[in-house]
Structure 1
């Protein structure tokens, strides 16, 4: 938790988030809900899958997730 707070204070939180997910998903296949949530706060995760980038189709301010919940 302290490292998260420090990254915010040092204005490097997006880099912290990208590193966090790259360690946990080295193949670049992140859960779609993670991609969509981070997209909403202007953090884009790099990925290795072309098909994954096609899944991210956010048109407008609201998006309905696979579970039918507006995100």
Structure 2
């Protein structure tokens, strides 16, 4: 059976390419946009970020987790 990828492509959270992307580890609202329900970082093929931007995002999320600004896992998975 082949999987339908129509819904996966339609649900991409693309970031506008004309704006400068800067991820601050203190901006909880912006970082939570790129984290799923389980607390995992959403991959670049879904977010539409470049490799450099995804690396900056990952570093910011990990630093925010270390400083307890955002949780490592969601409450329902604890």
Same-fold status (TM-score > 0.5): no
Higher relative contact order (CA closer than 8 Å, sequence separation 6+): 2
Larger helix proportion of the pair: 1
- The two structures have a TM-score, normalised by structure 2, of 0.35
